[in-house]
Amino acid sequence: MQQDQAEALAVQALAFIASDPELLPRFLSLTGIEADQIRQAAREPGFLAGVLQFILAHEPTLIRFSEETQTDPALVSRALNALPFGDNRYEQSI
């Protein structure tokens, strides 16, 4: 998966989180950011990887995201690997 495809999927995941009244507060609590800081945080390296890590960390959330977006759950993991700080292979490729 290319980085731009991974970023697009992560943005889609962020929109999914932001639209859910239960997930958003949990995401904000875990990341330590405020709702009005999301746009700025999304520009930081590693933030989009963190979004996908959040989705992947809870199987029911991953399944719901996959069903609602018609995305294969395995693509979420592959997208994570294509993003900065998603794993060490990204850093080695720079």
Domain range summary for the chain, segments of one domain joined by +: 3-93
Q: What is the DSSP string of 9-57?
A: HHHHHHHHHHT-TTHHHHHHHHHT--GGGHHHHTTSTTHHHHHHHHHHT
Cα 57 to the center of its chain, rounded Å: 11
Res 86: pLDDT: 77
- Count CB neighbours of 74 within 10 A: 9
Mean pLDDT of 47-63: 95
Task: Give the model's confidence band at 87: pLDDT under 50 very low, under 70 low, under 90 confident, else very high.
Answer: low
Q: What is the mean pLDDT of residues 44-48?
A: 88
pLDDT of residue 45: 80
pLDDT at 43: 84
Q: What is the pTM of this model?
A: 0.85
**Structural contact between residues 38 and 14, judged by C-beta atoms closer than 8 angstroms:** yes
Residues 79 and 75: their CA atoms lie apart, in Å, by 6
| Owner of token pair 């507060």 | 25
- Cα 37 to chain center, whole Å? 16
Q: Given pLDDT bands bounded at 50, 70 and 90, which one contains residue 89?
A: low
